[in-house]
Amino acid sequence: MTSEAQVAANRANAQHSTGPNTPAGKAKSSQNARKRRLPGDTPLTLAEDEVAFAAHCAGVRAALLPQDAFEDELVRQIALHQWRIGRLQRIEAALFDAETRRVEYARAVGSEVAKLRYGRADPADIWPGAIPELSRRETALGRELARAMAMLERRQVARGRGVAPLAEKNSPDEADFPRAING
């Protein structure tokens, strides 16, 4: 059983643990539950060109010709997935380039430790956590892209036949949910 002194001490300590108070602190703590954070998780990074992104989105929209708000949202998702996949590919290329420069430097220095450790650029040795994570994100984005494309195609085919898309086709079907939800 908890004594009165422990209860009083707990209450006093709880007054000091009220969480963040500033907007910056609240914004930072809101991201605490995120397990992974890659640049591919945001629509546009500071290093990317807004004009190029807007041109990419406009090109995708012109190619896919959305006819209503739902199709417009699908086209927006498709453009964003394509952009994010391209970003992950650029990140992967940059990682390999950095590793190549590191290996070349180690060889130029000529130390025995460097030769043993960096004598060969093996993709499995390049930032062991980064490359598999990039691959997982690219695979997931590829599935999301294929899903959005398939849904858009179904709607456009139905519209082309003069058949209004069914309401249940507007909402995600069972195949659109991750396996963890389906069981």
- What angle, 0 to 180 degrees and rounded to 10, lies between the N-to-C axes of helices 50-64 and 69-109? 130
pLDDT at 81: 94
- Which of 58, 153, 134 is CA-nearest to residue 94? 134
pLDDT at 162: 66
Alpha carbon distance 107, 101 (integer Å): 10
pLDDT at 127: 58
Residue found by looking up tokens 């180690």 in the block: 106
Positive or negative, the CA dihedral 19, 41, 145, 96 is negative
pLDDT at 145: 95
CB proximity list for 134: less than 8 A, separation 6 or greater:
38, 88, 91, 92, 95
Q: What's the DSSP call for residue 21?
A: -
- CA torsion angle 53 55 58 59 (round to 10): -110
Positions in the chain whose pLDDT score sits under 70: 17, 33-42, 106, 110-129, 162-183
pLDDT at 163: 63
Q: Would you state the structure tokens that stand for residue 34, as one six-digit string? A: 């995120």
pLDDT at 48: 83
Amino acid type, 159: R
Contact 67, 159 (CB under 8 A): yes
- pLDDT (tens digit, 9 = 90+) per residue, 149-175? 999 999 999 888 766 554 444 444 444
Backbone torsions φ then ψ of 126, nearest 5 degrees: -85, 110
